[in-house]
Structure 1
Amino acid sequence: MRLRTLGALAVEGAGLKREKVLLLLAYLCLEGPQPRRRLADVFWPEAANPMNSLAQHLVHLRTLPGALHEEGSRVEAALPCDAAQMREAARSGQWEQAVALYSGPFLDSLTIPLGADLEEWVFETREALALDMRAALLTLGGQVAARGNTAEAGALAARALMLPAAPPPDEAELPRLYHLLNLSAHPLAAQVERDARSLGVPLDSPAARLVAAAAPFVGRAAELGQLTALPPGSFAWISSPGGMGKTALMDALNRAGGWQLLTGSPEAQAGRPYAMLAPLLPRPVSTPGGALSAFASGRLKVAIDDWDSVDEASREVLTLAARQATSSQPGGAVIVVTSRRHPPFEVRTHLTLGLLSPEDVMQPGLHALTDGHPTLVGAALRGQPLELGQGAKVRALPPELRDTFLLLALQDHPDLRATRAALNLQADAFARILSALTVEGLTSETGRVYAAAAIRQSLSAIYVQSQLLHLRLARALPPETAWPHYAAARDLWEGTDDTRIASVAAARAGALIRRGHPGEARVLLDSLPAWPELAVPHAWALLGAGQYAEAFRRLDALTPPHADAPATLAARATALVRLGRHAEATALAGRVTGTGAEGAQAASVLAHAARIREQWDEARRYSRIAADLWQLNGDEEQHLSELGFVALARVRLGAAPAEAFDALLERARGLPSVRGTMLVNYVQLLLDARQLEAAEAAMREAVRELEVAGDVLGLASVFINLGVSLHLQGHLKEAAGYYKRAIAQLRGTGSIRPLGLALSNLSEIEGDLSAFEDVMEMLERAGQHELVASIRRNAQVVSRFPPSSLQS
C-alpha cells in the first residue's frame, strides 16, 4: 500500500475514504513521529475534547495493516507516501524519478474545512513540493538541452513555468526558464522576458551570452569514431575522473542509433540479480552463463554507464564477456563500459578521457574560462555561472575534502605542502583527500582546481569565510608567496601574526623591487604599520622610487638597536649618497663591516660616491669588492650588476667599451633586467665615444631585454638617456618623443626622480617655463635638491619648434 497525496488523496489498495483520517496520515508521513498532544492541537484546535477526536481517527488508521507505529505518547506513520518519496528524490538529485512521482498539487482535492495552523501547513507544503518539481523540470530541461534536444527542453521549461500551485518564478529561476524557452523558440519566452524586465532581472549576463543553440557535447570526435567502429565481439572500457564527459559520450552513442544504453543505481538494483542486464534478458535467468547468452548476437551494441552502479551478478557476467573478447576467437555483442577507475580485468580497448583541448572548444575565450573541463564547458554553454557546474558536488563533500578544495582554489599554483600544513593533516590523510578530489573531477593530480578563478569569485561573496581561508593559507605558505593571502585576510590579522606579516611583506617588497616595480613595493609597505622590522625594506622601496628624502627620514626615525643594525647603516648610506651628501654617505658606509649583504651594499655606496667624484680607479675598486661580496652571498644578479659598474669605470679609465662590456653582456644572458640595465650604461658610453651605429643596436637590444623583464624603470632610463643624447645634439623633436615614452612608462610607478628629469627636459624643449618650474617645485618637495641644482645648471630653453609640432 502507498498513500497518494499528489493530485489525489487515497491509499492505494484500500477503501479508506475519510479525508480527515487520510490528512492525518499525510501529516505523519511528511512531518515524522509526532506527540499525540501536538496532533490533537493542530487538527482539532476548537474541539471540546481534542484527544478524543484524535483517538477516533487513529482507530480508522489502524484498519490499514502496518500504517502506524505507536509507542507511548508518540505516533509514527509506517506507510510509503508519494509526496515524501518525491521530496527525497528531488533532494538526492534523482530528477526523473521526482518528476514521475509528481502527479499534481499536494492535497489539491481536499474539500473539508481546516483550522488556521493546518491550512497553513497544507499550503506551505503544497508550494514547497511544487518548487521541488520546478527545480527538477528545469534541471532535466538543462540536461536534454545539453544533448541537443531543444524542443523537449522548451517543453519541460514551459511545464515548469505553468506548474499549478507553484509561486511565480524568482530572480534565480527566470534566467533559466528564459534560456530553455528561448533555445526552442517557445512562445512563452516572451512572457518570461516581460516578467524579468518588470522585476529588473537581467537575462543577458556574460555567461548567458556564451550560450549556443548546439548541444554542449563538444570534442570527443576521435573517441566517438573509435567506439562506433568497434567490430563485433569487442569490449571497450572508458575511464576518467568525474565530470570528464563519460555520460555525455554514452548519450552521444545512444543518439547515433543502434546502441542499447543501460544505466542504474545500486539502490534500485538491491536484491535483484542481473538487474542491470534485465532489459537484455528475454526471460528470468539464474546463472551467469544464462545471462551471458544475451550477448551472443553480433548485431547487439551495449553501452553501460558507470561500472560502480552495476549489480554484483551483472558484473560477473560482464567480466566473463570481457574475457571472451580477449580470447583468440572473440564474437558476439559490442560492449562499452564507463568507470572512474581503470578496468579490473584485461581489455583490448581502453580510452581515458581528460580535459578538452582549445580546438575542441570553439567559442572564443571559453577554454580559458573553463580550463576545458567538460562539466564547466557545458555549464557555460547552458548559460549557468561556472561555479554551479561544480557547486553541488563541492557542497556535498565531507568537511575535510571541502576545505581542502577551497584552499587549493585560492591558489593559481597550489603549494601542496603549505595546504596540508594549513589543514593540519598527516601526509597519508592528505594524499587520500587529493586522490578523492581528483576522482571527483574537481582537481588535477597536482591539486590545481579547474576554473579556480570562478570558485574564488564565488568565495569572495562569503567575505569572512573567504578571509579565514586566506589567513589559514597565508600562515602556512612560504614568505615569498604568502603576501596576497595575508592582504586578502587583513581584517582577521591577530597580534601573533605581526612578526610573520612583516617578514612576508618585506619578501614581497624585495621581489617587486628586483622586478623593477619599487613604486608598488612602496605602496604595499606604506599600507602597513611603521614596524621597525620593515624600515629597511621600506627605505629600499622609496629609494627605488626616487624618494630619497623620504627613505632617509624613515630610517632616521629608528632607535637602537634597529638604528645601529648593519642593514640600516647600509640603507642610510645609500639614501645619503643619492641625496648628494657624499661625505656623510662615505663615513656611514665605512662603519659597515662584515662580508654579508650589508657589506656588499656599503661597498656599492663607496663606489657610487667615487663615481660622483669621478675618481674612477677608486670606483672600480669598490665596485669590484661589492661584486665579490654579492657573489659570496650567492646573489648572481647583484654580482653581475656590480660588475657592470666595474666595466663602466674601466671605460672611464681608458678601456674601449666593447672590451669592457662584451664578455660581461654574454654572461648576463638569461637575466634580462640585469643585462638590460647593463646595456643602458653601455649605450651611454658608446654615444660618448661617437660609436652611434653600435649605440643604436645596443639600445634596441636593451629595450627588448627590459621589456622581457617587465622592468619599467629600466625602460624609462633607456628612453631618458636617448632623449638626453638627442637633446644635446639639437634633435629636439626626436628627443621629446623619447621623453614622452619615458613618462608613459613611469606613470603609476611613484618614481619621482626619473619622472622629474623627463618632465623637466620635455618642458625645456617645449619652452614651457611654467611647467618647468612646476617640475622643479615637485622635485624640491621630494628632497631631490641635488637633481634640481643639476637641471638648473644645464637647462637651456632652446625650443626651435612651436609646441604643437612636438606632440606625438
Structure 2
Amino acid sequence: MEGMNLRTLGDLSVEGVTFRREKVLLLLAFLCVEGPQPRRRLADLFWPDAANPMNSLAQHLVHLRGLGGALTEDGPRVGASLTGSGTQPTQDGGGLRCDACDLREAVRRGRPQEAADLYRGPFLDSLTIPLGADLEEWVFDTRETVARDARTALTTLAAQAAAHGNTALSGDLAARALTLPGAPPADELELPRLHHLLTLAGHPLAAQVEREARTLGLHLDAMPAALPAPFAGREPELAALDALLPGQVAWISGHAGMGKTALLDALARTGGWTVLPGRADLPYGTLAPLSAAPPTSAHAALGALRDPQARVAVDGWEQTDPATQATLTTLATGHRSAHPGAALLITGRTHPPFDVDLHLNLGPLTPGDLNDPDLHARTDGHPTLVGAALRGQPLDLQFGARVRAYPDAVRDTFLTLAVQDQPNLRATRAAMNLGAQDFARILSFLTTEGLTTETGRAYAAAATRDALAQIHVHAALIHLQLARALPDEDAWPFYDRSRDLWEDADERRAAQAARLRAHAHLKRGYPGQAAELLDTLPGLPELAVPHAWALIGVGRYQDALNRLNTLSAHDQQVSDALAARAVTLIRLGRTDEAVTLAEQIGGSGPDAAHAASVRAHAARMREGWDAARRHAQIAADLWNLHGDDEAHLTELGMVARAQVGLGSEPQVAFAEVLRRSQDLPSVHGMILVNYAAALGDRGSTVQAEAELHRAVEHLTLAGDRQGLATVHGNLGVRCHLAGQLREAIEHYRRALALLSGSGHIRLLGVTLSNLSEIDGDLSGFEDALTLLEQAGQVELVQRIRHNAQMVSAP
C-alpha cells in the first residue's frame, strides 16, 4: 500500500484516514520523533498511573497495527516504520512520513523553503487529552525544538531575500520568524540577526526587537536600509555559508568577475557578517576594523578573531598584507575545535593554501540559478554581466574599458577569440603571430581576468562583437587575420566579414572557403543558404559550377543555366560543368539537350552518376520505364561506389518507381528501398512521396494520402522544408482535384510558408498558380505563370495552362 503521512504540526491526524484516537496517534508521533523504544519505557511514560501499563500499551499497539505499515516491532522494542527524508522506503512502497521529522531533516539538509512550507502550526497543538507530567514536558520541549528549526528556516530565507536585495520579503519573513506560533522568545543569538533584517526592511517590529534586546542586556546597532545591489542566484552558496559554525573556515575561489565580492556584499546585507576588504598598506591593516586600536602583533590580531559570535569575511587574499595572511593561516591551521573563535570566510582567485572546512569555487551562473533563459543567453551567466543587465547597463561597457586598457596583443587576442563561437586556439595564435609561450600567458591572463573560459571562449561574446562592429576597419582586420589562419572549411564567415581588406592572394582562398561552405549547406539540405552565399560572388569563375548546383537545389534553373554560361567555352566542356548543365536542362524540360550532354560524360565519378540520373529522368518523362530503371540503377551503383548513401538511396527510389511502371506492385517495388532509407529521414520522406505517386497511379488514393502524411512526419524530423513544401503541394493538388477546396487552400498556404526564403521558384510558381486558380484570381494566376516562364519553365507553364483549361495565345 502507499505510505501514510502523519500530521503533527497544527493538528494530529493521518492524511486520508479517518482514524482519530488521540492517544494512539500521540504514541505514533512519539515513535516517529524519538525512534524505536523499549515497550516498558513507553508503557511507563504514557500510562504512569494505570493498573497495568503494559496492557494499556498492548491495546494501543493493536490500533496502530490497523494502520498497515505504520509500525515495526522487534521483540521488546517498538518503532514507527518511518520513511521520507534521510530514510529508506519499505519494499512495498509503504511506510510512514511525519511532517515534524521531515521539517527537521529539511533544515539539516539545507532546504529552508521546504522546512518553512511544512510548518503549519505548533507541534501537537490540537491535543485535548490529559497527559502525565513527563509526557507533557516532552510535548512542550519538542514543540519548542521544532518551532526553533522552523524559525531557523524562515531566518535563512529572510537572509537570502536580503542578499538578493528584496528587503520587503526579507522583512516579512523575519517578522514571521520572530512571531512564529509555538516558538519560544528569540534569544541573544537570534535577536541581533532578526533586528538587522527587520531594520533593513524598515519593518515596525524592529522597535519591538530593540526593547526585547534591552531586556536581555543586549546592545543592537541599528543599521540603515542599504540600497539593494543587483544579485542573482547563489542560493546553495548562501545556505552553505549561513551554516558555518564558530571556528570554521571557508574559502571562496574564482576568477575575476565571478561574483566573489558580490556574494560577500550579499552576506553583509543578511546581517551578522563583517566584510573586510583586503589591504596591503599596513601590517594587519586588513583586520584593523575588528578592534578599537589597529593590532600591532600576531597575538593582538588573533585576539580580534576569538569572538565565537563573530562572522568575518576577508575579501581578496591576494591584496591582503603578508602579516594578515600569516595570522589567517595560523588561525586556519591551528586547533580551532579546542577554542572556537569567529567563523571565517576568505576570497581569492586561487585555491586555498591551507585546509579549510568549506571551499566554494565560483563559476558562471547556470540557467537554473537565474531562472531567466533570456538573461542567461545574453550574459552566459557571467556574474558581472548579469549584474550589468539587471541594472539596465550595456554589457559591452563592463569589459570595454578594461579591454581597451590592455596591451595591443592582449586586446586583439581577446577580440579574436570573441568573434568565434567555438574558438580555434591554434588558428587564433597563428592569426596573432604569437609564440606558444606568449599565447599561453595571454590566454591564462584573460581567463583569470574573467573575460574568457579556460577553453578560450569569450563570455557574452555577442556584446563584444556588436561593439567591435562599430570599429569597421579594425574589425575587418581581426576577421581577415583569423580567416587566413583557419582551415578552409571554417574560414568563410570571417572572409565574408573582411571583404574590404582582401588582397589578391585572399580571393582564391576565399573562393575555396565559400565553395566548401556552400557544399556543406547542400549536404545538410539547405540549398537556399548555399545559393544566397554564392550569389554574393558572381564574378569568380571557379565558383560557377557549385553556384549552379545551389541554384538547381532551389529550383532557379534558368539562373543556374545563366551562371554556367559565364564559363569560358573550354570550361563549359569540363565534366562537372556538363553534368550541372545536363541536370539544369532536364529540370527545365529540355530533355533532348540534356541527354545529349549526358552522353558526353564518361568515367565512373560523381559526374557520371549525375549523367546516368539525367538519362533516367528523361526516360521516365517518356514513360520508357525499362530505360529509366536501367539508368537509375547505374546512377545508384555509382553513388554507392563513392559512398554517398543519400544519393544512392534516392536513385534506388527512382528504380522502384520505374519497376512500378513496368508492372510491379508498388508495395513490392518500394519495400526494400523504404526499409534501407529509414535512418535517413529526408531521403525516406521523398521516397514516400514517390511511393504515394505510384499508389495514386494504381488507384490506391486512400493509401497514397496516408503515405504522404507519413512523409510529412519524416521530413519534419529531418527539417527538410523544401521536401515538406513538396508534400503539402501534392496534398493540395489531391484535395484540389477532389473538390476539397478548403483543405487544398490550407495545404497550398503551408507550402508557401515553407518555401519562404528558399528561392525555389519552380515550387513557388506552381503553388501560387494552383492557389490563384482556386481563388479565381486570374491576375495572380498569370503572374505566377510569368514567374515560371522567366525561370525557363516553359513546358511546365504549358502543362499548367492545359490542365487548367485556360490556354492562351503566346
Q: Same fold (TM over 0.5)?
A: yes
- Aligned equivalent of 2:237, options 207, 215, 223: 223
In structure 2, the partner of 1:258 is: 272
Cα distance in 1 between the residues matched to 2:464 and 2:297: 50
- Aligned equivalent of 1:243, options 252, 257, 263: 257
Where does 1:385-404 land on structure 2 (aligned, <5 Å)? 385-404=394-413
Q: Give SS of 2:246's match.
A: coil
Is the 1:657–1:686 Cα contact (8 Å) retained in structure 2? yes
Is the 2:255–2:449 Cα contact (8 Å) retained in structure 1? yes
Tell me which amino acid in the other structure corresponds to 2:357.
Answer: R
Tell me which amino acid in the other structure corresponds to 1:464.
Answer: V
Once the two structures are TM-superposed, the CA of residue 561 in structure 1 deviates from its matched residue by 4.4
Q: Check if 1:321 corresponds to 2:331.
A: yes
Q: Check if 1:545 corresponds to 2:544.
A: no
Cα distance in 2 between the residues matched to 1:433 and 1:665: 55
Cα distance in 2 between the residues matched to 1:694 and 1:768: 33
In structure 1, the partner of 2:320 is: 310
In structure 1, the partner of 2:682 is: 673
Tell me which amino acid in the other structure corresponds to 1:219.
Answer: G
Once the two structures are TM-superposed, the CA of residue 276 in structure 1 deviates from its matched residue by 2.4
In structure 2, the partner of 1:128 is: none
Cα distance in 2 between the residues matched to 1:362 and 1:544: 43
How has the CA–CA distance of structure 1 residues 238 and 631 changed in structure 2, closer, same or farther, with 3 Å as cutoff? farther
Once the two structures are TM-superposed, the CA of residue 406 in structure 1 deviates from its matched residue by 1.0
In structure 1, the partner of 2:150 is: none
Where does 1:31-42 land on structure 2 (aligned, <5 Å)? none
In structure 1, the partner of 2:305 is: 295
Q: Check if 1:374 corresponds to 2:383.
A: yes
Once the two structures are TM-superposed, the CA of residue 376 in structure 1 deviates from its matched residue by 0.9
Tell me which amino acid in the other structure corresponds to 2:423.
Answer: P
Is the 2:164–2:232 Cα contact (8 Å) retained in structure 1? no
Q: Give SS of 2:627's match.
A: helix
How has the CA–CA distance of structure 1 residues 251 and 550 changed in structure 2, closer, same or farther, with 3 Å as cutoff? closer
In structure 2, the partner of 1:530 is: 539
Once the two structures are TM-superposed, the CA of residue 385 in structure 1 deviates from its matched residue by 0.7
Report % sequence identity: 56
Q: Give SS of 1:261's match.
A: strand
Higher relative contact order (CA 8 A, sep 6+): 1
In structure 2, the partner of 1:755 is: 764
- Aligned equivalent of 1:590, options 559, 581, 599: 599
Is the 1:146–1:382 Cα contact (8 Å) retained in structure 2? no
Is the 2:278–2:314 Cα contact (8 Å) retained in structure 1? no
Cα distance in 1 between the residues matched to 2:475 and 2:717: 35
Higher mean alpha-carbon deviation, 275-284 vs 500-509, is at 275-284
In structure 2, the partner of 1:479 is: 488
Cα distance in 1 between the residues matched to 2:713 and 2:586: 31
How has the CA–CA distance of structure 1 residues 256 and 214 changed in structure 2, closer, same or farther, with 3 Å as cutoff? closer
In structure 2, the partner of 1:232 is: 246
Once the two structures are TM-superposed, the CA of residue 230 in structure 1 deviates from its matched residue by 0.6
Tell me which amino acid in the other structure corresponds to 1:759.
Answer: L
The C-alpha deviation readout for 1:461-490, integer Å capped at 9, x for no partner, is 111112221222222333343333222222
Tell me which amino acid in the other structure corresponds to 1:743.
Answer: L
In structure 1, the partner of 2:283 is: 273
Higher mean alpha-carbon deviation, 307-316 vs 558-567, is at 558-567
The C-alpha deviation readout for 1:222-255, integer Å capped at 9, x for no partner, is 2111112111121111111211110011112222
Is the 2:518–2:546 Cα contact (8 Å) retained in structure 1? yes
In structure 1, the partner of 2:347 is: 338
In structure 2, the partner of 1:634 is: 643
Cα distance in 2 between the residues matched to 1:627 and 1:655: 19
Unaligned runs of 5+ in 1: 1-144, 151-183, 185-212, 799-808
In structure 2, the partner of 1:97 is: none
Count of equivalent residues: 589
Cα distance in 2 between the residues matched to 1:652 and 1:265: 89
Q: Give SS of 2:345's match.
A: strand
Is the 2:628–2:658 Cα contact (8 Å) retained in structure 1? yes
Tell me which amino acid in the other structure corresponds to 1:310.
Answer: T
Q: Check if 1:715 corresponds to 2:729.
A: no
Cα distance in 2 between the residues matched to 1:771 and 1:566: 41
Is the 1:765–1:797 Cα contact (8 Å) retained in structure 2? no
The two structures, once aligned, show a CA RMSD in angstroms of 3.0
Cα distance in 1 between the residues matched to 2:540 and 2:654: 34
Cα distance in 2 between the residues matched to 1:333 and 1:531: 74
Where does 1:640-655 land on structure 2 (aligned, <5 Å)? 640-655=649-664
Q: Check if 1:698 corresponds to 2:712.
A: no
Once the two structures are TM-superposed, the CA of residue 290 in structure 1 deviates from its matched residue by 5.7
In structure 1, the partner of 2:467 is: 458
Once the two structures are TM-superposed, the CA of residue 499 in structure 1 deviates from its matched residue by 0.7
When normalised by structure 1's length, the TM-score is 0.68
In structure 1, the partner of 2:513 is: 504
In structure 1, the partner of 2:79 is: none
Cα distance in 1 between the residues matched to 2:354 and 2:662: 79
Q: Give SS of 2:285's match.
A: coil
The C-alpha deviation readout for 1:625-654, integer Å capped at 9, x for no partner, is 323333333333323333332333333334
- Aligned equivalent of 1:470, options 479, 485, 508: 479
Cα distance in 2 between the residues matched to 1:324 and 1:297: 16
In structure 2, the partner of 1:558 is: 567
Q: Give SS of 2:393's match.
A: coil
Cα distance in 1 between the residues matched to 2:284 and 2:591: 93
Tell me which amino acid in the other structure corresponds to 1:223.
Answer: E
How has the CA–CA distance of structure 1 residues 383 and 701 changed in structure 2, closer, same or farther, with 3 Å as cutoff? same
Q: Give SS of 2:252's match.
A: strand
Cα distance in 2 between the residues matched to 1:555 and 1:753: 19
Is the 2:715–2:721 Cα contact (8 Å) retained in structure 1? yes
How has the CA–CA distance of structure 1 residues 221 and 778 changed in structure 2, closer, same or farther, with 3 Å as cutoff? closer
In structure 2, the partner of 1:431 is: 440
Q: Give SS of 1:219's match.
A: coil
Cα distance in 2 between the residues matched to 1:763 and 1:286: 93
Cα distance in 2 between the residues matched to 1:278 and 1:666: 79
Higher mean alpha-carbon deviation, 351-360 vs 685-694, is at 685-694
Once the two structures are TM-superposed, the CA of residue 282 in structure 1 deviates from its matched residue by 6.3
When normalised by structure 2's length, the TM-score is 0.67
In structure 2, the partner of 1:788 is: 797
How has the CA–CA distance of structure 1 residues 500 and 346 changed in structure 2, closer, same or farther, with 3 Å as cutoff? same
Cα distance in 2 between the residues matched to 1:727 and 1:709: 27
Cα distance in 2 between the residues matched to 1:626 and 1:633: 11
How has the CA–CA distance of structure 1 residues 259 and 629 changed in structure 2, closer, same or farther, with 3 Å as cutoff? same
Higher mean alpha-carbon deviation, 272-281 vs 568-577, is at 272-281
Q: Check if 1:409 corresponds to 2:418.
A: yes
Where does 1:48-87 land on structure 2 (aligned, <5 Å)? none
Cα distance in 1 between the residues matched to 2:719 and 2:762: 19
Once the two structures are TM-superposed, the CA of residue 350 in structure 1 deviates from its matched residue by 0.8
In structure 2, the partner of 1:129 is: none
The C-alpha deviation readout for 1:18-69, integer Å capped at 9, x for no partner, is xxxxxxxxxxxxxxxxxxxxxxxxxxxxxxxxxxxxxxxxxxxxxxxxxxxx
Cα distance in 1 between the residues matched to 2:480 and 2:525: 28
Is the 1:576–1:582 Cα contact (8 Å) retained in structure 2? yes
Is the 1:657–1:685 Cα contact (8 Å) retained in structure 2? yes
Unaligned runs of 5+ in 2: 1-161, 168-200, 202-226
How has the CA–CA distance of structure 1 residues 399 and 571 changed in structure 2, closer, same or farther, with 3 Å as cutoff? same
Cα distance in 1 between the residues matched to 2:623 and 2:309: 94
In structure 2, the partner of 1:578 is: 587
Once the two structures are TM-superposed, the CA of residue 283 in structure 1 deviates from its matched residue by 6.1
Tell me which amino acid in the other structure corresponds to 2:308.
Answer: G
Cα distance in 2 between the residues matched to 1:342 and 1:614: 77
How has the CA–CA distance of structure 1 residues 591 and 337 changed in structure 2, closer, same or farther, with 3 Å as cutoff? same
In structure 2, the partner of 1:441 is: 450
The C-alpha deviation readout for 1:69-128, integer Å capped at 9, x for no partner, is xxxxxxxxxxxxxxxxxxxxxxxxxxxxxxxxxxxxxxxxxxxxxxxxxxxxxxxxxxxx
Once the two structures are TM-superposed, the CA of residue 548 in structure 1 deviates from its matched residue by 2.0
Q: Give SS of 1:255's match.
A: helix
